[in-house]
DNA sequence: TCAAGTACCGACAAAAATGTAAGCCACCCA
DNA sequence: TGGGTGGCTTACATTTTTGTCGGTACTTGA
């Protein structure tokens, strides 16, 4: 970090925020509607509880999702998208369109990939 | 892949294509101007040769950069951005703007991060 | 009393991504 | 004959990310 490079285009922070295996998927789920922990678990069946909570916490720290505890019985925790998250979502639309338009050129070509990242159905 | 989910928004492929530690940076460099191997090495000083060639090859496989060998002496290899890559670049602009606008909310908050991904100056 | 549901935490292990260092081959120049 | 450049390749090590599995605390229902 000695010399500040003139090429700070903002992509770094942005990519960091969504580049978890499940983050985009989770962002999209809470974008559709607020959801509670167990609900998200059901919506994204292949995620483990550890990963679910971990990614949610990071997204919370990054300000794109909001976590609210309702002191009821049984306890209820709801995750919802923030304004900040909605803007991110919108910024992702062109990228999604790009991926959709040219689907098939990249996907399925590399056999050894596509297992760790991009679970499926993005 | 048993049941096709209705939520194929294209983000998966797109994220897979740019989510390497150096890919966005490299895409941006070849976007500015075609460059040869050693040139890229100089432009992105912290990348190792192995990573450089690896990421370039993957980007080539994904169709976003083009590799051309000039049978000269000394041998010359030039990497340039493709049409496909330019479109990707454009699709990334809103995302970059998002990251730039809200810089500081995410960056620098998590001490243990920012080392593996997003080298610097994105 | 036992099972089940909700929302987690944490140790450990596997897998994936990245880094380090060395070597290769063809050529040029001295 | 030896060193330097260009564009790689390969083996191996380290770091980062993700997964597995078990446990916690509380409460309701059978």
Closest Cα in chain B to A2: B120
Per-residue pLDDT, averaged over B90-118, amounts to 69
Using the predicted structure, report yes or no on whether residue B38 has a pLDDT greater than 70. yes
Determine the protein residue whose CA lies at the shortest distance from the C1' of D10: B50
Partners of B66 in the β-ladder: B80
Number of domains in chain B: 1
For residue A103, give the nearest of B7, B13, B120 by CB distance. Answer: B13
Interchain pair B121, A7: CB under 8 A: yes
Domain contains A86: yes
Using the predicted structure, report yes or no on whether residue A104 has a pLDDT greater than 50. yes
Closest Cα in chain B to A119: B12
Interchain pair A87, B100: CB under 8 A: no
Per-residue pLDDT, B64: 96
| H/E element, A53 | helix A49-61
Per-residue pLDDT, A10: 83
Answer with the residue of higher pLDDT: A31 or A109: A31
Cβ contacts of B54-62, under 8 Å, gap ≥ 24: B55/B20, B55/B21, B55/B22, B55/B23, B55/B26, B56/B26, B58/A110, B58/B20, B58/B23, B59/B17, B59/B23, B59/B26, B59/B27, B59/B85, B61/A106, B61/A109, B61/A110, B62/A105, B62/A106, B62/A109, B62/B17
> Closest nucleotide to residue A75 (Cα to C1')?
C6
Per-residue pLDDT, averaged over B34-46, amounts to 95
Q: Which range of residues forms the domain containing residue B52? A: 18-100
- Quote the CA–CA distance of A9 and B121 in Å, as a whole number: 7
Contact residues, chain B, for A29 at CB < 8 Å: none
Counting Cβ atoms within 10 Å, is residue B24 exposed (0-12), middle (13-18) or buried (19+)?
buried
Domain contains B13: no
Per-residue pLDDT, averaged over A39-45, amounts to 95
Per-residue pLDDT, averaged over B90-105, amounts to 88
- Quote the CA–CA distance of B5 and B3 in Å, as a whole number: 6
Answer with the residue of higher pLDDT: A1 or B99: B99
The beta strand positions in chain A, using DSSP E, are 35-36, 65-70, 76-81
- With CA atoms as reference, report the closest residue to A79 among A96, A98, A49, A57: A57
User: Is any atom of nucleic acid chain C found less than 7 Å from the CB of residue A28?
Assistant: no
Closest Cα in chain A to B5: A121
Using the predicted structure, report yes or no on whether residue A118 has a pLDDT greater than 80. no
Domain contains A80: yes
Q: What is the CATH number of the domain that holds B54?
A: 1.10.10.10
Per-residue pLDDT, averaged over A7-27, amounts to 89
CA terminus-to-terminus distance, chain B:
34
Domain contains B12: no
Using the predicted structure, report yes or no on whether residue B94 has a pLDDT greater than 50. yes
Domain contains B8: no
Domain contains B96: yes
Answer with the residue of higher pLDDT: A6 or B106: B106
Domain contains A23: yes
Using the predicted structure, report yes or no on whether residue B116 has a pLDDT greater than 50. no
Per-residue pLDDT, B119: 56
Q: Which of B95, B111, B117 should we substitute to test contact with A (largest number of A Cβ atoms within 10 Å)?
A: B95
Domain contains B6: no
Distance B71 CA to D18 C1' (A): 44
Using the predicted structure, report yes or no on whether residue B75 has a pLDDT greater than 50. yes
Contact residues, chain A, for B61 at CB < 8 Å: 106, 109-110
Flag whether residue B114 sits within 8 Å of chain A, measured between CB atoms: yes
């Amino acid at each position: 970090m000695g010399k500040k490079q003139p090429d700070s285009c903002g992509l770094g922070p942005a990519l960091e925020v969504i580049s978890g295996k499940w983050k985009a998927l989770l962002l999209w789920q809470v974008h559709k509607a607020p959801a509670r922990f167990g609900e998200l678990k059901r919506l994204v069946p292949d995620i483990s509880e550890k990963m679910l909570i971990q990614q949610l916490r990071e997204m919370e720290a990054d300000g794109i999702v909001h976590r609210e505890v309702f002191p009821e019985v049984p306890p209820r925790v709801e995750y919802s998208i923030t304004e900040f998250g909605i803007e991110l979502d919108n910024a992702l639309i062109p990228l999604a369109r790009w991926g959709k338009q040219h689907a098939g050129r990249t996907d399925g070509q590399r056999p050894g990939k596509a297992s760790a990242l991009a679970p499926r159905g993005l």
